[in-house]
Chain A
Amino acid sequence: MPVSLNSSKAIYAALKASGIRLVSALPETWLVHLIRMAEDDPEMTLVRLAKEEEGVGISAGAHFAGVGSAMLMQNHGFLASINGIVSFAFLYRIPLLMLISYRGSFGEKDPWQTQGGGVTEPLLRALGIPYFCLQTVESVPLRIRQAHELCASSLQPVALLLTRDLMWEE
């Protein structure tokens, strides 16, 4: 499978270095390595979801308890989470570190991903969620640390878009 193991390792190491100890996830092709790393790590609590919006509540509960968390999801999972993001995370000032696989953009071959790809960045902007497109493995450690820092200081959602250039090797 041409999902980048190298980039996945860099992302996972950066999450650990930021003190993330709970990850919620819903399986998606580009996230397989990350989910397996979380599953195999005795220091990490992995919560496998039925729908991504649950992850907003789980991250809120972890935050209240002082546990750092991150959400792993596809951009369609972000779309499915928007009410929770607005009427929980923004309403109650909950820091959400969202790692979103950016399907449906340049190079996408699956027709079903394309509509969601087109609205992902406009929706992040409409919601006022700061985001950064991770395109190179070299940028991963700094940008994940910075995203976590902004998340913690602003007490709001922050997104990192995991692009095809970062996640896919072909």
Chain B
Amino acid sequence: MLRLDCLRSIYSQLEKCVVVTIMGAIAAELQSIGHRPNFFYLQHAMGLASSTGLGLALSLPEQTVVVLDGDGSVLMNLGTFSTMARYRPRNLLHIVFDNESLLSVGGFPTATATGTDLAQIAKAAGVPRTATVTDCDAFVVAITDALAARTLTTIVAKVEASGPAKYVTDLTLLENRFEFSRYLRTLKKPLR
């Protein structure tokens, strides 16, 4: 399963959500499909995309917040599962693309390559809905169900360790940040 195909298959649903991604391949791939003002790309601070999503979800209860995370990032902040589970906002969907690799720095294997199961960690931390999917059809069903369930969910999507040729895009970090916050503050009604 390719992450880019997963992103394409749920893009129409992401259009209606407040989206936070991690750095690197995911940010570049989502932008290659199409940037929107409701997408924020956290191009560093590995581990904090899910914390940012939690802060957004608690502050914008009428919006749906989707975090596009990765195995390398989430392994740097496993405590995030227990914090998300503690407050379990109904409007937060946490998607972890697990390629078992730190792809952008040379493809060194992460602990998920040797058996660490992020969905089981999320479940044991108290995240009420969790699943692991390995093909794109199952991914789409899992995401659609999670958005309908209105319950904190972590979906781990096992994807191939491949990504775009380059990670830097022509969208500057601060341009993205200010466009995103200005857009959120204009929202009067849910995007969905």
Contact between A61 and B59, CB atoms less than 8 A apart? yes
Contact between B40 and A83, CB atoms less than 8 A apart? no
Partner of B83, one of A47, A69, A93: A47
Contact between A54 and B59, CB atoms less than 8 A apart? no
Complex Cα distance A54/B83, Å? 9
In the assembled complex, which residues on chain A have CB atoms less than 8 Å from the CB atom of B80?
50, 54
Please, what's the 1-or-0 string for A50-71, where 1 marks a CB less than 8 Å from any CB in chain B?
1101111111111111110100
Whether A49 touches B44, Cβ cut-off 8 Å, given contacts A22-B55, A93-B177, is no
Which of A47, A64, A93: most chain B Cβ within 10 A?
A64
Complex Cα distance A83/B51, Å? 14
Contact between B181 and A53, CB atoms less than 8 A apart? no
In the assembled complex, which residues on chain B have CB atoms less than 8 Å from the CB atom of A1?
none
A105 within 8 A of B: no
- Interface stretch (choices A7-15, A28-36, A84-92, A144-152): A84-92
Complex Cα distance A48/B77, Å? 15
B122 within 8 A of A: no
Partner of B53, one of A61, A91, A93: A61
In the complex, which range does the number of interface residues on chain B fall in?
A: 20 to 34
Residue on B nearest A59 in the bound complex, by CB: B55
Please, what's the 1-or-0 string for B154-192, where 1 marks a CB less than 8 Å from any CB in chain A?
000000000000000000011001001100110000000
Complex Cα distance A88/B20, Å? 13
Residue on B nearest A88 in the bound complex, by CB: B45
Partner of A54, one of B20, B57, B79: B79
Complex Cα distance A170/B69, Å? 48
Contact between B48 and A65, CB atoms less than 8 A apart? no
8 Å CB interface, A104-147 against B: none
Complex Cα distance A45/B77, Å? 22
Which of A49, A56, A57: most chain B Cβ within 10 A?
A57
Contact between B83 and A48, CB atoms less than 8 A apart? yes
Complex Cα distance A22/B50, Å? 17
Which of B59, B86, B87, B174: most chain A Cβ within 10 A?
B59
Contact between B184 and A65, CB atoms less than 8 A apart? yes
B60 within 8 A of A: yes
In the assembled complex, which residues on chain B have CB atoms less than 8 Å from the CB atom of A83?
45
Residue on B nearest A91 in the bound complex, by CB: B44
In the assembled complex, which residues on chain A have CB atoms less than 8 Å from the CB atom of B48?
53-54, 56-57, 60, 84, 88
Complex Cα distance A84/B48, Å? 8
Contact between A51 and B79, CB atoms less than 8 A apart? yes
Contact between B86 and A91, CB atoms less than 8 A apart? no
Whether A47 touches B79, Cβ cut-off 8 Å, given contacts A57-B49, A65-B60, A67-B59, is no
Complex Cα distance A88/B53, Å? 14
In the assembled complex, which residues on chain A have CB atoms less than 8 Å from the CB atom of B58?
22, 45, 47, 58, 61-62
Mark B residues whose CB is within 8 Å of A: 20, 40, 42-45, 47-60, 77, 79-80, 82-83, 86-87, 173-174, 177, 180-181, 184-185
Mark A residues whose CB is within 8 Å of B: 22, 45, 47-51, 53-67, 69, 83-84, 87-88, 91-93
